[in-house]
Amino acid sequence: MDQPIAYPFGLRPIRLSGQLAAGALLLAGLVWVVRGVWEIRLALAGEPASGPPVQGNGVHRPLNALEDSYHFVNAAGSVGGLLCAVFFIGWLWRVRDNAKALSGQVPKYAGFWVYAGWCVPIVNLWIPRGIVADVFHASAPGRKLPASLNVWWVLWLIGMLSGVGFVYRDSTDEIIARTYTGVGPLLVFDAAVVGSAVAGALVVRALTRVQLERMRGVLPEGDKGGHVVAPSPGVS
């Protein structure tokens, strides 16, 4: 039987990490589809005669059943986003380390940008995409970047910029009030997030695939499903 051994040359397993990252992205996209459906339902139901949930001067009226259920949907979206962040950044660290080992080149961006690049204003408009592009070029020199990379990033920026004020500042009750006065911008935000999640999953799959292909050309015993194996004694 083949016995797994550790990756040589500082390479790290990435197949499972890539599957988890892509899966988390698609799951988050699905949750945001549900969120959009709930916002449409709220818009069609119309604002109750008692007015918006937040009525000023610290007064909050009781929520109806549909509004109350939106709180659960919105919370699920937050959980999905957190899972995406954890699995995507974990995967990105691995492929970044592998790209450095495969190419022998120092990454264009220092390691702290893998985290800080998402939250530092202004630079978060380009650094995360730059990190992924740098990893791809180091892993597959001479190959064109996948089209999904730019689609992912453009949709991410649209979602991030249109989401300011909807997600980062407003409470869930204030978002509910927005569905009654004009649901369109919220749905644009939702569509951008869903599209970004799907394109992001394609980016993860493309980069994981090319890096595994590169490993198969470098590792002495080949790559079996993302794990390097050595033959048992006596087996040629």
Parse the chain into domains and list their residue ranges. Answer: 15-217
Tell me: the pLDDT tens digits for 112-164? 899 998 888 888 899 999 999 999 999 998 899 999 999 999 999 888 877 65
Nearest to 95 by CA among 154, 22, 15, 25: 15
Contact by Cβ (8 Å): 227, 2:
no
Share of the chain above pLDDT 70, in %: 85
Tell me: the pLDDT tens digits for 60-72? 888 999 999 999 9
**Residue 216 banded pLDDT, cuts 50, 70, 90:** confident
pTM of the model: 0.83
Q: Report pLDDT for 169.
A: 63
**Could you tell me how far CA 127 lies from the centroid of its own chain?**
15
The rounded distance, in Å, linking the Cα atoms of 212 and 224 is 10
Q: Report pLDDT for 230.
A: 34
